[in-house]
Structure 1
Amino acid sequence: METTTKARGLSEKKKTALSAYLFISPFFILFAIFGLFPMVFSFYLSFFRWDGLSPMTYIGVRNFELIFTDPVFFSSILNTFIIGLMGTLPQIFIGILLAFALNSTLIRYRNTFRTFVFLPYITSIVAVAIIFGVVFNNQPFGFANYILSTFDIGPIRWNAEYWPVKFAIATMVFWRWVGYNTIIFLAGMQSIPKELYEAAKIDGATVGQQIRLITLPMLKPIVMFVVFTATIGSFQLFTEPLIFLGRGLREEGITMVAYLWRDAFVYNSFGTASAAAIVLFFIIIAITAINLLITNRLGRSKKIG
């Protein structure tokens, strides 16, 4: 009788576990099909020559030799770092200031302003790139060139010169993501006790001192999270340079993802594209490890302090 009861109990546990696995299985199935399999196949494909139609030919590490001897590939790495820094660092500083303003009781209609700040994030990225393509038009009647003409500065070829290309793309990235990061910072600020700010005001602390001595130290984990996600996102930059530069993807503004996309879908060289994807994968892993190391050290120093 006891054996029958145990068997039934075990059967019920198995049924409960099976039902739980069935509920979460769609995620793992979709991830295996659209996430894991493409990654594994990309590693496999990097050792072959393949144009997408003809049979694959094993060539060993030849694809890696080709991309590492291509100066455009190194330009894409450098462009990715530069555009990432130009687009990410201002997001953090401006995002903190905007979040502080939206968290302040001195501003009326704060919910309305919060909605407006977040709107760029939900706007179509293609539409954003097209609009900024008009803003940074090479012609004198382009909006940016028209503004510069009021300061007696001649028209700039925004999509053809080294630094203007990077500035234009970084501006797109900043405009689209600064609202998203502002909302994250705002959520972090709302968790800071208001008594700290009230005590600081009583002691005569200015707004700058409140941000430096209260907001930033309390927001340290949020800042680390934003830096972490923004860094990874900057290495996946693709749509902005593609729309702004066109399928030609000039060397001055091509990013790593745009480089591997061009190899795959313009030059039909899926082997070199996969090799570039693997290099990008290891770069992201290295940057992530550095971010985690810095975050852990900051956390330890905070505990020690």
Structure 2
Amino acid sequence: MATSTTPPRLDRRAASSTPPRAPRRVGFSQNLGRWDVKLSPYLYISPFFILFGVTGLFPLIYTAWVSMHDWHLIAGQGDFVGLENFAYVLQEPNFWKGIRNTFSIFLISTIPQLMIAIVLAALLDANLRAKTFWRMGVLLPYVVAPVAVSLIFGRLFADQTGIINTILKDIGLNPIGWHSQVFPSHVAIATMVNFRWTGYNTLILLAAMQAIPRDLYEAAVIDGASRVRQFFSITVPMLRPTIIFVVITSTIGGLQIFDEPRLFDQLGQGGPSRQWMTATMYIYEVGWGNQKSFGRAAAVAWILFLIIVIVGLVNFSLTKRIASDNASKSRKKVRR
């Protein structure tokens, strides 16, 4: 007799009467692991934000508070004056001289610096012997203290006994008043800035060049493109994001220049008629000079901060627009 193989049916009442399983308890180590996964990324990046808040954000906010008070270097905090310090600074002729000199030195130094840095990075990216030696040699001026650079170049550009004026006399040219004329003094200070910062920007651009795929250059060689054509058609377009970064950082640093013009002569006042006094030197003169007014110095600092932000945004928008226009033109050429 055949037996049935169908499984026995469970009683619904019995199934419903069985107690539900108790939830599994999560141990302390598992909870700790979950919190570690959630919080560890924020803990890793927190030192930067803490340091920025202490050394960057708090001084910025506190400077705004100081700029609205009659704050003396010795007497300390005075009465609340609102925007009187800003109004006083904007009426000062030396303030506008400092802004003019700052922009002049910035333009003379930044544009040649970027061009020379791109060319040097392209040369260092080529097949050269002793690459490490040449790269360290390019970075060496950046390592030198700015005080030493300023003292050396101050002697080179001396009006009476400077080496440059001596050479100009030997070849039959008139000496240049590096410390008495406006534009020559700006050129001398811009030369110091270029000497220090060109190598630093060169290594940044060199690192970006080494990240460019070599297949592009091999294809260009097969098509018969020369080195110059490869540089302008491949290297420069691929360096657009890095060039934007270098332009913005050079803008921020160039508008805050202090060491080179401060040590260009022994007095450190920006010349007899303040012909090379920058905005940061004017801040030092107002805060620690004859006026000793921290409120007015803080007002100048905030005006300079707003100028740097505006110029940085303008540079970013212009370079981004130029990069997008060039990219669209290259796409049209490829489609054709």
Who is 1:225 aligned against? 245
| 1:295 Cα offset (Å) | 4.1
1:120 and 2:144 equivalent?
no
Query: TM-score if structure 2 supplies the norm length?
Result: 0.81
Structure 1 CA distance for aligned equivalents of residues 317 and 85 of structure 2: 32
The answer as to 2:278 corresponding to 1:258 is no
Distance 1:110 1:51 in 2: 54
Relative distance call for 1:158 and 1:11 in structure 2 (3 A) is same
Whether the 8 Å contact between 2:69 and 2:79 is mirrored in structure 1 is: yes
Q: Is structure 2 residue 101 aligned with structure 1 residue 79? A: yes
Structure 1 runs not aligned, ≥5 long: none
Q: Which amino acid aligns with 2:173?
A: I
Structure 1 residue 91: deviation in Å?
Answer: 1.0
User: In structure 2, how many angstroms separate the alpha carbons of the residues matched to 1:303 and 1:156?
Assistant: 45
Conservation of the 8 A alpha-carbon contact between 2:261 and 2:268: no
Out of 73-82 and 3-12, give the one that drifted further.
Answer: 3-12
Tell me by how many angstroms 1:24 deviates: 5.2
SS at match of 1:108: coil
Give the Cα–Cα distance (whole angstroms) in 2 for the partners of residues 272 and 201 of structure 1. 60
Correspondence for 1:294? 318
Q: 1:227 to 1:146 in 2, by over 3 A?
A: same
CA–CA distance in 2 between the matches of 1:174 and 1:207?
26
Q: Which moved more, 1:168-177 or 1:74-83?
A: 74-83
Q: Within 5 Å, which residues of 2 pair with 1:94-133?
A: 94-105=116-127, 107-133=128-154
Aligned to 1:144: 164
How much does 1:239 deviate? 0.6
Corresponding position: 1:270 with 2:302 = no
The residue type equivalent to 2:123 in the other structure is A
> CA 1:152/1:108 → structure 2, altered by over 3 Å: closer, same or farther?
same
Task: Choose which of 164, 170, 188 in structure 2 pairs with 1:168.
Answer: 188
CA distance in 2, matches of 1:130, 1:94: 24
Identity of aligned residues (%): 40
Aligned residue for 1:75, secondary structure, equals helix
Q: Which has the larger radius of gyration?
A: 2
* Distance in structure 2 (CA, Å) of the matches to 1:240 and 1:14: 51
Query: By how many angstroms is 1:34 displaced?
Result: 2.4
CA distance in 1, matches of 2:41, 2:164: 56
TM-score, with structure 1 as normaliser: 0.89
TM-align CA RMSD: 2.5
Q: Pick from 84, 88, 91: which aligns with 1:66?
A: 88
Q: Which amino acid letter does the alignment assign opposite residue 117 of structure 2? A: G
Shift of 1:51: 1.6
Cα 1:216–1:19 shift into 2, 3 Å: closer
2:233 paired with 1:213: yes
2:308 is the alignment partner of 1:284 = yes
Distance in 2 separating the partners of 1:186 and 1:296: 21
Aligned-partner residue type, residue 289 of structure 2: V
| Amino acid in structure 2 at the alignment position of 1:239 | D
1:277 CA drift (Å): 0.6
More displaced 10-residue stretch of structure 1: 201-210 or 160-169: 201-210
Distance 1:166 1:261 in 2: 19
Bigger mean CA offset, 144-153 vs 73-82: 144-153
Q: Distance in 1 between matches of 2:165 and 2:312?
A: 38
Q: Which of 66, 69, 87 is equivalent to 1:48? A: 69
Distance 1:265 1:211, change over 3 A: same
1:224-267 per-residue CA deviation (whole Å, 9 max, x = no partner) reads 11111111111111111111143322321111111112211113
* Cα distance between partner residues in 2 of 1:213 and 1:30: 42
Q: Which protein has the bigger helix share?
A: 1
